[in-house]
Amino acid sequence: MITIKSQRELRYMRDAGRVVAGVLGELSRAIKPGVTTAELDRLAEDFILARGARPAFKGLYGFPASICTSVNEQVVHGIPGLRKLESGDIISIDVGAEINGYYGDGAATFPVGEVSPEAKKLMAVTEEALYEGIRFARQGNRLSDISHAVQRYVEKHGFSVVREYVGHGIGRSMHEEPQVPNFGKPGRGPRLKAGMTLAIEPMVNAGTHEVRTLGDNWTVVTRDSSLSAHFEHTVAITDGEPEILTRL
Amino acid sequence: MRDYFTPGRLVSSTAGRDYGKFYLILDRVSETRVRLVNGTDRRVNGPKLKNIKHLKVYPLVAGDIAHKVSTGQRVTDLDVRRALKELLEAYGQVMPAQGKPSGDELELSQDGSGKEVG
C-alpha cells in the first residue's frame, strides 16, 4: 500500500530531510585526499545525533555504519572503513536520518581533488537525471514516467542505469512501497497523488549497467569496474510542483 | 552511548516545583545540566536550568529548533511555543495553555501533574 502523508507528517519528513541535506553539505567540505571513509562516517553520525535525529542506516538490514561510502567502481552500499581517499577518486555518499519516526534519504557523488573529465561528466549527468526524474514526479503522472525520464536522459548521454537497485517510497519506514525503478516504459505503475513521498535515486554507470556484490555481501560494484555515480532526493508529490525534502 | 539531551528534544520535569511540566531543550550547558524553554513562562531570554537527572525524555524532537540552534540562528519564543504545541499534540498530551493562563483548568493542564500550582 502506498501511504499518503498528512501535512504534519510532511513537516516531520522535512525535518528529517533537512538533517540529510546538512550531512551531505558537511561531508562535501570534509571530502579531500587522505581522509578515510570511516572518518566521514563518524562525522556524519555526530552531525545527525547532534540534531536529535537517528542515523537510519545503522543496523538497517544489518548494515554496520551510518552512511554508505561507495568509491569509484562501487555503485552503492559501500561500508566505511580505513580506505583513504585519493585525488581523482569519486565517492558516493548515501545518508538516511530518522526524526520523530519519519525518514529522509538522500545521496550525492563528490569528486576527491581533481578528477577526470569523464568522471565529471558522469556525475553531472547523474545529478541532472535525478532532476529530470523529479520533473515528472507530479500528481496525475504515472510512477514509471519518472523511471522513463531518468533512463532516457542517462542513455542519451551514453551512460547506463543500474537495474538491480531501485528507488522507493519512504515515510514511517526507510523503504515503503512503491519501488521506483530508474528504467522502463512510461505510463505504467500507480498514478501519483499529492502526499506520496518517494526517494528517487538514479545509479549511473559509465560502462555496462550490470553489477555484482562483493564478498562482504554489501558493496555493489560495476561488473566491468567502470565508474559509477549516485544521486538521490526524497521528494513529496504535491498538487503543484514536486517538493524536494532533502534540500537545505 | 547516545546522547538524548540535544537541542529541540521534548522533556518533562520529574522533580521540583515544576514537576510534570513540559519543556524543549534549548542547549546543554554542562555534563549534567541543560537549559529548558517553553516559550511562555520560561522564555529564550530566561531559560530554566535543570539537572538532566530530573528530566524524562520523550522520543520526539523539534527539528526546527534543533536546526536553528545547531546553525547558530536565533530561536524565538514563538518558535518554541509552536514546536512544543505540535509535539505535545503528536504525543497525545493535553495542550498546554498558550500565552497568559486564563482559567484554573488550563493552568492545571499546563502543569501536567494535575497538582496545585504553588
CATH number of the domain where residue B57 is located = 2.30.30.30
Report if residue B3 sits inside a domain.
no
- Supply φ then ψ for residue A18, to 5 degrees: -65, -35
Q: Is A15 annotated as a binding residue?
A: no
Is B118's pLDDT higher than 70? no
Grid cell, residue B9, equals 528534544
Peptide bond into A80 cis (omega under 30): no
| Domain region containing B69 | 9-111
Query: How far apart are the CA of B60 and the nearest CA of chain A, in angstroms?
Result: 5
Peptide bond into A178 cis (omega under 30): yes
Report if residue B4 sits inside a domain.
no
The pLDDT tens digits of the residues spanning A181-218 come to 999 999 888 999 999 999 999 999 998 988 999 889 99
Report if residue B73 sits inside a domain.
yes
Q: How confident is residue B109, by pLDDT bands cut at 50, 70 and 90?
A: very low
B34 touches chain A (CB under 8 A): no
Total domains, chain B: 1
List of chain A residues whose C-beta atoms are within 8 Å of the C-beta of residue B1:
none
d(CA A27, CA A40): 7
Quote the radius of gyration of chain B (alpha carbons, Å): 13
Report if residue B117 sits inside a domain.
no
| A&B contacts, CB < 8 Å | 49
Predicted local confidence at residue B117, as pLDDT: 40
Torsion of CA A70, A74, A75, A76, to 10 degrees: -40
Report if residue B15 sits inside a domain.
yes
Predicted local confidence at residue B61, as pLDDT: 92
The pLDDT tens digits of the residues spanning B12-34 come to 999 999 999 999 999 999 999 99
Mean pLDDT of chain A: 92
Facing residue for B6 by CB, picked from A22, A50, A101: A50
Report if residue B2 sits inside a domain.
no
Domains of chain A: 7-244 (3.90.230.10)
Grid cell, residue B27, equals 542547549
Grid cell, residue B67, equals 536546526
B49 touches chain A (CB under 8 A): no
Query: How far apart are the CA of A120 and the nearest CA of chain B, in angstroms?
Result: 31
